[in-house]
Amino acid sequence: MEILDEILKAFDVDFLSVEDEETYNNIRVKYVGKNGLVTEALKEIKNVAADKKKEYGESVNKLKNLLESRLADLKQKLEEKALKRELDEMERVDLTTPAADQSGSLHPVTITRNKIVNVFKSMGFTVEDGNEIETEYNNFEAVNIPKDHPARDMQDTFYLANGQVLKTHTSASQNRIMRKYGAPLRVIFPGRCFRNEELDASHENTFFQLEGMMIDKNISIANLIYFMKTMLSQVFGKEVEVRLRPGFFPFVEPGFELDCSCPYCGGKGCNVCKKGGWIELCPCGMIHPRVLEMGGINPEEYQGFAFGLGLSRMAMMNFEINDIRVLNGGKLKQLKQVKTK
């Protein structure tokens, strides 16, 4: 019995020295662990006189329960103390301090788009959003590409189960925008396009275009050339020349491919222009009268031009990226390496 009193006294002393989880575990193991002092005391029962065994056994169990209950209280207090410490620590964090590492940055396509959008805005154009899922009508019929027209094969289309399509070109928004605003109209509409393409260094199945339309009275090819030349000179930060070559698109008449003198070598020939001095930049043309009509605009009264710039390819040029797949690859390491020209 005396030994039990000694255990309790020693426990009281050790108990006061507990400060943390580690010292707590030490005394728990020392007293009520598998080989702890209380367990050892219980084993001593074999040396106790037969008539005292019951009383001794009960006393050891009472001691064990007492120590365990005091240890449980102590554990709870330690946990509360740790939680309070954590909360104090959190309160000390100044949430208004600017982050040390500003690691986010804009995507090359976004930077290029913003540059072009700002130039067009300064020339009085508004900016519209387009849908990514479109009706077949808007993507094709409304831009003069009826069913079974061979031009549908120019763009390998992703069809959805409900008969709608993933927009193959930004021209899919032309009809909705004309119907919304009518004429006169100056608008650009950048957007993501999808084509079921064989992928290579210059073809993606998901890429960006930036389309523009200007509709007014007495609009001619001269307006188209003026706006494209002004926009490109500002985007490239130097005076560039543009030239038109004939091109076919059912929604423009006449249609053109617009080339721009290479802004990087001044037309002398370099890797970007493949030594030719000119860069093929964007298809364009005078909006077909039928397309105006389908958009609710009288072609007898109004004319307009439209263009469809390959925004992803423009970003590649701007950032010296020679494989378009880098843009959607999601590899931050590669994107961080690109630098603007």
Cβ 116 to ligand FA5 shortest distance, Å:
13
What DSSP designation does 132 have? S
Nearest residue (CB) to ligand FA5, 101 versus 198: 198
| Residues whose CB falls within 8 Å of the CB of residue 215, separated by 6 or more in sequence, listed in order | 178, 183, 184, 185, 186, 287, 292, 297, 302, 303, 304
Minimum CB distance to ligand FA5 smaller for 205 or for 334: 205
CB 16 within 8 A of CB 57: no
Specify the pairing of strand 206-216 against strand 242-246: unpaired
CA dist., res. 149 & res. 262, Å (int):
35
CB of 273 vs ligand FA5, minimal distance in Å = 15
Residue among 128 and 211 whose Cβ is closer to ligand FA5 = 211
Rounded least distance, CB 174 to ligand FA5, Å: 8
Q: Which is nearer to ligand FA5, 30 or 203 (CB)?
A: 203
The tokens of 272 are what?
Answer: 């970007």
Nearer to ligand FA5, 63 or 178 (CB): 178
Answer whether 65's CB lies under 8 Å from 42's CB.
Answer: no
Query: Of 235, 259, 263, which Cα lies nearest the Cα of 247?
Result: 259
| Distant-in-sequence, close-in-space partners of 227: CB < 8 Å, separation ≥ 6 | 123, 212, 214, 305
**Strand residue runs (E) in the chain:** 126-127, 133-134, 165-166, 185-194, 206-216, 242-246, 252-261, 278-287, 303-310
Cβ 82 to ligand FA5 shortest distance, Å: 57
Whole-angstrom CA distances from 56 to 1, 2, 8 are: 7, 11, 15
Closest distance of CB 212 from ligand FA5, Å: 8
Residue nearest to ligand FA5 (CB): 310
Residues 227, 228, 234, 235, CA torsion sign: positive
What are the CA-CA distances from residue 221 to residues 144, 215, 225, 266, 298 (Å)?
Answer: 20, 12, 6, 25, 19
Q: Which is nearer to ligand FA5, 12 or 197 (CB)?
A: 197
Instruction: Write down the least CB distance from residue 83 to ligand FA5, Å.
Output: 55
Cβ proximity to ligand FA5, 52 vs 245, nearer residue: 245
Beta carbon nearer to ligand FA5, 176 or 195: 195
Shortest spacing between CB 209 and ligand FA5, in angstroms = 5
Nearer to ligand FA5, 77 or 274 (CB): 274
Q: Which residues bind ligand FA5 (CB under 6 A)?
A: 169, 171, 195, 197, 203-204, 207, 209, 211, 249, 252, 255, 282-285, 306-308, 310, 312-313, 324
Packing angle between helix 2-16 and helix 21-32, nearest 10 degrees?
170
Cα separation of 194 and 205, whole Å?
5
Q: What are phi and psi of 157, to 5 degrees?
A: -100, 140
Minimum CB separation from ligand FA5 for residue 101, in Å? Answer: 33
Closest approach of Cβ 268 to ligand FA5, in Å?
Answer: 23
Residue 160 CB partners (closer than 8 Å, separation 6+): 133, 166
